Structure 1
C-alpha cells in the first residue's frame, strides 16, 4: 500500500471536459498523474463509486463546500478519483455541481487503485474491484498525508480532516 513519502503511481486517469479551453478538448481527456501533479499541491480523495450514498451526500459536497479554504491553504487542485468510466464521472460532477472546484477523475480499469494498493473488492455485492475510501495531500507528486478509511467507514477521509492537514503542512 502506498505510504506517506511515496510518489504517486505513474498512471493515467481520465477526465470528461465539457467546455473546451486551457489546452483541453471537449470530451474525455487523459490526465497523466505525474505531469498533472508536478509542482502542485493536490487534495486527492477517492471513493468506491460515483452516485453512491455516502459519496454523494457527504464526501463530494464537503470538498466542494471547502474549495476556497483549500485554496487559501495552498492547495492548487482538488481531485476526486473513482473506479468508474469517464462519462459517469462527468455526469456525477454535473449532478454534484462541482463547477470546476473538484476535478472528477475516472480510474475506469482500477489501474490507479491497484497501483496504490488501495483497492476494495466489492465483487460479492456485484460491484467488482473498486477504490477504497481515502484522502491524501499530494505535494509535487509525493504523498504528504494519507487517511485511509476502515471498511464501511467515513471518519478520516472527509474534507475537514484533509483541510486541517493542508493548513498545517
Structure 2
C-alpha cells in the first residue's frame, strides 16, 4: 500500500471535458498522474464509485464546499478519483457541480487503485474491483498525508480532515 513519502503511481487517468480550452479538447483526455501533479499541492480523494450514496451525498459535496478554504491553505487542485469511465465521471461532475473546483478523474481499469494498493473488492455486490475510500495530500507528486477509511466508514477522508492537514503543512 502507498505510504507517506511515496510518489504517486506513474499511470494515466482520464478526464472528461465538455468545453475546449487550455489545450484540452472536448471529450476524454489523458491525465498522466505524475506530470499533472508535478510542482503542485493536490488534495486527492478516492471513492468506490460515482453516483453512490455516501460519495454523492457527503464526500464530493464536502470538497466542493471547502474549495476556497483548501485553496487558501495552499492546495492548487482537488482531485476525485474513482473506478469509473470518463463519461460517467463527466456526468457526475455535472450532477455535483464540480466544474472549476474538483477534477473528476476516471480510473477506468483500476490501474491507479491497484498501483496504490488501495483496492476494494465489491464483486459480491456486483461492482467488481473498486478503489477504497481515502484522501491524501500530495506535494510535487509525493504523498504527505494519507487517510484510509475502514470498511463502510466515512470518518477520515472528508474535506475537513484534509483541510486541517493542509493548514498544518502550509
Instruction: Confirm or deny a common fold (TM above 0.5).
Output: yes
Aligned length: 169
Cα distance in 2 for partners of 1:24, 1:87 equals: 15
Distance 1:23 1:72 in 2: 26
Q: CA offsets per residue over residues 47-101 of structure 1, 9 Å max, x none?
A: 0000000000000000000000000000000000000000000000000011210
In structure 1, the residue matched to 2:163 is: 163
Cα distance in 2 for partners of 1:125, 1:100 equals: 33
Could you list the structure 1 runs, at least 4 aligned residues long, displaced by more than 6 angstroms after superposition.
Answer: none
The 1-side partners of 2:167 and 2:98 are apart by: 22
| 1:122 alignment partner in structure 2 | 122
The SS at the match of 2:9 is coil
Gaps of 5+ in 1: none
In structure 2, what is the equivalent of residue 25 of structure 1? 25
**Aligned twin of 1:38:** 38
Q: SS at 2:157's partner residue?
A: coil
CA distance in 2, matches of 1:142, 1:4: 8
Q: Flag structure 2 segments of 5+ consecutive residues without an equivalent.
A: none
1:55 corresponding residue in structure 2: 55
**How far apart, in 1, do the equivalents of 2:73 and 2:149 lie?**
23
Task: Name the residue aligned to 2:135.
Answer: 135
RMSD: 0.3
Structure 1 residue 124: deviation in Å? 0.6
Q: Which residue of 2 aligns with 1:110?
A: 110
Instruction: Give the Cα separation in 1 of the matches to 2:151 and 2:113.
Output: 16
Quote how far apart the aligned CAs of 1:46 are.
Answer: 0.1
